Chains A and B, each alone.
Chain A
Amino acid sequence: MAQIFPRWTNKIPLAVGVTAPVVLVSVVFAIWYWFSPKFTDVGYQPEQPVPFSHKLHAGSLGLDCRYCHNTVEQAAAAALPPAGTCMNCHANLNLGDHENRIKPIKDAFAGGPPVEWIRVHMLPDYAYFNHSVHLAAGVGCSSCHGRIDQMETVFQDQPLSMSWCLDCHRDPEPNLRPRDQITNMAWGPEDAAAYDPNTDPTRTRAVAPPEHCSGCHR
């Protein structure tokens, strides 16, 4: 009787044994690397309708974040400024050749359509985030948004994933600073090492970030 399987089939178990782990590892790697918010979300830098530069306004001119994002200490959302806030200065400034860059703002202020800024940071709607608690606890903007004052156009610097939130919630102390330094973009690791929140007299209680699910999924 002839053989049912030709001779080369003897190699199949070996070939499968070698390729299967390679394929499996590649698939796991690909999902770990490319499906993570560290890849899908970090670096998102949409082109905005007005070429507004944080590098110029917050960096060179040194405006405090709260001049424009003025709700950030009282509310969950750090509101983007209305056209009127830009006009505080730009009604009284002459940009010369660059005047057309600010035109959508001036039109909106004169009653035209509002400027439709494109959202950069975006948590899923089932996760709850609140700026005011974090700022009251002394977590600075740059811990979560990076060096905004060096960005010509804003991009997402941190993954905003659940593990990222929890990494800090489990060990918040290295990320805390005196509460009058929250908008200080230059706050670095050396300053953090020199600051001990436990001996800060302006703090009346230890911070207690939630780690239970309903803290953020409410």
Chain B
Amino acid sequence: MTAQRSNTLVVAVGLLATLALSAGCRGNKSKDPPIHPNWNMDDQQYFQAQEDNDWFPDHRAQRPLVAGTVARGLLKADDHLYRGRGADGRLVDTLPPSITLDEALLDRGERRYAIYCAPCHEQNGRGNGIIAQPGSVATGLLVKPPSYMDPRLQAMPLGYFFDVISNGKATMRPYAAQIPVEDRWAIAAWVRVLQVSERAAKADIPPAELGKLNSGGAQ
């Protein structure tokens, strides 16, 4: 009688334990989609960004633009701002009137440059970024980016850098889709800063900052 009862107890505890183990613990990795006991209105009949829609053959709910059309408000008529070209169709050497040159712009340019350009062009613009160089993780780009200090590039107008970012150049692909237009100008301005700092002489440094250089504070 007691033996039988303790047997039942063992079986019951064993069953409970297997149930608990088969259900798993919190945080276990799983390839299966989450099971929600109650789906409520989790999935409603509208499409979120990048959701799939089986109605279209390519399954994209977000439809690509029909060729030859422009979405409302996105007509980019300002040649200076959007193409870096003046009325005569040549590349400009000035910022568009809607963008002012100040510390905030250069600061923005430096940070955006670090995100989008430095992986290949290196933070100092010499073209030895981590992607470009063969190293421990990467085998390096097949075509290496040039240094901005190259005399040919030093002679280029500001609009040229905007144009390369927007439309790409040879093996470098365009970044117009990734970087908003104001940021592209900020980056172009920062590329110019890198070039100018290469040419700079000691006399160009403001006296107030000179102390830092001599004490080794600046590089």
Contact = CB atoms under 8 A, between A and B. Distances in A.
A44 B33 contact: yes
Secondary structure dominating the interface of A: loop
Given A66-B115, A92-B142, A77 B173 contact: no
Interface string A32-71: 0111111111111111000000001000111110110010
A46 B43 contact: no
Secondary structure dominating the interface of B: loop
Interface string B44-88: 101011101000001110000000000000000000000000000
A93 B30 contact: no
Contacts of A85: 178
Contact of A116 (B26, B59, B130): B59
A44 B30 contact: yes
B171 interface: yes
Interface residues of B, number: 52
A164 B139 CA distance: 42
A89 interface: yes
A88 B129 CA distance: 14
B21 interface: no
A91 B173 contact: yes
B139 A40 contact: no
Contacts of B152: none
Nearest to A75: B49
A70 B119 contact: no
A114 B27 contact: no
A125 interface: yes
Contact of A87 (B50, B59, B115, B173): B173
Given A61-B131, A77-B49, A84-B173, A38 B31 contact: no
B23 interface: yes
A126 interface: yes
A113 interface: yes
A62 B60 CA distance: 31
Contact of B43 (A33, A41, A74, A125): A125
Contacts of A37: 34
B142 A42 contact: no
Contacts of A94: 139, 142
A122 to B, nearest CB: 8
B206 interface: no
Interface string B166-190: 0000010101011110000000000
Interface in B76-121: 111, 114-116, 119-120
B35 A46 contact: no
A69 to B, nearest CB: 10
Given A61-B119, A80-B50, A46 B33 contact: yes
Interface string B10-36: 000000100000011111111111111
Contacts of B120: 89
B137 interface: yes
Nearest to A66: B115
Nearest to A127: B42
B203 interface: no
A38 B111 contact: no
Contact of A74 (B37, B50, B180): B180
Contacts of A66: 115
B31 A45 contact: yes
A88 B172 CA distance: 7
B50 A43 contact: no
Contacts of A76: 49
19 contacts: A39-B26, A43-B26, A43-B27, A44-B30, A44-B33, A47-B31, A67-B119, A76-B49, A80-B50, A82-B177, A85-B178, A87-B173, A88-B173, A94-B139, A96-B139, A113-B59, A114-B58, A116-B52, A125-B44
Interface of B: 16, 23-37, 40-44, 46, 48-50, 52, 58-60, 111, 114-116, 119-120, 130-131, 136-143, 171, 173, 175, 177-180
Interface of A: 26, 33-47, 56, 60-64, 66-67, 70, 74-77, 79-80, 82, 84-85, 87-89, 91-94, 96, 113-114, 116, 122, 124-126, 155, 180
